[in-house]
Amino acid sequence: MAISPLDSVIFADMFGTAAMRDTFGDDAFLARCIEVEAALARAQGKLGIIPVEAANAITHAANALAAGRAALDLTRLKRETETVGYPILPLVRQLAQFADGAGRYVHWGATTQDIMDTAVVLQIRAGLALLEEDLTATRSHLAEFAHKYRDTPMAGRTHLQHALPVTFGYKAAVWLYALDRHADRLRELRPRVLLAQFGGAAGTLASLGNGEEALSTRAELARELGLGDPAITWHVVRDGIAETVQVLALLAGSLGKIAYDIMLMSATEFGEAAEPFVQGRGSSSTMPQKRNPISCELILAAAKVLRQEAGLVLDAVVTDFERATGPWHVEWVAVPEAFGYAAGALHQARFMLGGLIVDTGRMAKNLAMTHGLIVAEAVMMGLAPHIGRNEAHDLVYDACRVAIESDRPLLDVLLETPEAAAPLGPDKLRELTDPVNYLGAAPAMVDRVLAGR
């Protein structure tokens, strides 16, 4: 019976994705461990450390397991793992049996953490590829919004109140700008994270001899797996793993910001956007009229969980001596869960943005609801050259108070205010109190974000 939403029969596809479960599930982890053992054997066979025939037999056994021609005894593996505390020795025993006489050369010179760390790195590589696919699609949706609504005015809000006009394209470009940087981060962290791990008992590779002979094994193992060859064993230097989870948490945080904005925009009082319509989606058990922002809520939940995973994995960075006494185990929990929730958040964002309903009419209505008050700054800056900036501020402040209390357009009040009407005149005041004329560099900034796409 599952106790995590990520592998729940009910919630798994809301909080995660099948592809990421396949990447970080038990079967995938064991397959990657076997892949590493086989690659190690081939590397050592090429270097003459073990017989080539043995390397071939070990690879053949690994391939048979991968193809389903042979199967691990998972009950035995579970029982022995609970006894040993780690799954690699029990796994090596079974792999050795499948390799017959060549089994004596399985795991030659390696230690448990070599195999597990390298297997996790392979999982991370596959997980990053899955995330990048959804991230690319999500960014594409936002780029379309930024282009289409580049000049579509709407109310910009600070402290949940009207501030100044923006455009919906500008808002989408702001969201996109963050996701573009996360795409850069996912690409840039690869050389620091996708490294083979092979150091033996204490990281020195002493069981394989001295100097270059030992190091050549790690280099060849890295080539076999398509990974980087680190300068030194990283058993107790966990910053690369931690960085990966931090980037996922940052990504989820930015997705959470998008979700939070859209969730607020979909509130009845705003009505500026809505999640894609699917029959029955977001329904209430008691209120037939409800259409709850389900994807946004799931993204926000994922962002909060990933924040905790980011903090958790930082604890694994603080290790003792040449083999940690427990912090490493934290990664066993945090890394798969972080990828699971990140995949779920991106999946929901891709779906939600792919069919987002944008109500430009409601944006225009909301923008006009304060009858020009949203561009009070424009009037102030227009008056400032004539009467001084501070004086203009106070004059417009008083005019705004009158407009609010009398529920009248700001323009009407300003036209009745000689200190404003005289220096600017009716036409200029009409121009300054039209929100469409006070978008600043918002469209130009949209163009910069979209440049080169």
Predicted pLDDT of residue 453: 84
Does residue 279 surpass a pLDDT of 70?
no
Catalytic residue check, 406: no
Asked whether 428 and 385 are in contact (CB, 8 A), the reply is no
Point out the catalytic residue in the list 141, 182, 283, 284: 284
Predicted pLDDT of residue 285: 43
Are residues 38 and 178 located together in one domain of the fold? no
Are residues 170 and 315 located together in one domain of the fold? yes
Predicted pLDDT of residue 286: 52
The letter for the amino acid at 231 is A
pLDDT band at 287, cuts 50/70/90? Answer: very low
**Domain end call among 330, 360, 390:** 360
Query: Do the strands 153-158 and 161-167 form a parallel or antiparallel pair, or are they unpaired?
Result: antiparallel
Predicted pLDDT of residue 309: 95
Distance of alpha carbon 177 from alpha carbon 180, whole angstroms: 5
Other Cβ atoms closer than 10 A to 354: 13
Distance of alpha carbon 202 from alpha carbon 268, whole angstroms: 62
Predicted pLDDT of residue 212: 82
pLDDT band at 95, cuts 50/70/90? Answer: very high
Are residues 150 and 52 located together in one domain of the fold? no
pLDDT band at 444, cuts 50/70/90? Answer: very high
Looking at residue 419, which CATH number applies to its domain? 1.10.40.30
Point out the catalytic residue in the list 4, 8, 141, 159: 159
Distance of alpha carbon 366 from alpha carbon 122, whole angstroms: 50
Does residue 303 surpass a pLDDT of 60?
yes
The letter for the amino acid at 141 is H
Q: What total of structural domains would you count in the chain?
A: 3
Distance of alpha carbon 8 from alpha carbon 31, whole angstroms: 22
Average per-residue pLDDT in the chain? Answer: 92
Does residue 290 surpass a pLDDT of 60?
no
How far, rounded to the nearest angstrom, does the alpha carbon of residue 355 sit from its chain's CA centroid?
A: 20
Are residues 328 and 341 located together in one domain of the fold? yes
pLDDT digit string, tens, across residues 127-165: 999 999 999 999 999 999 999 999 999 999 999 999 999
311 closest CA partner among 403, 246, 390: 246
* Structural domain of 393: 373-433
Biggest CA–CA distance in the chain, Å, is 101
- Strand pairing partners for 166? 154
pLDDT band at 288, cuts 50/70/90? Answer: very low
**Domain end call among 313, 336, 360:** 360
- Helix, strand or coil, per DSSP, at residue 155: strand
Taking the C-alpha atoms of 180, 186, 187 and 189 in order, what is their torsion angle to the nearest 10 degrees?
140
Predicted pLDDT of residue 283: 46
The letter for the amino acid at 235 is H
Catalytic residue check, 284: yes
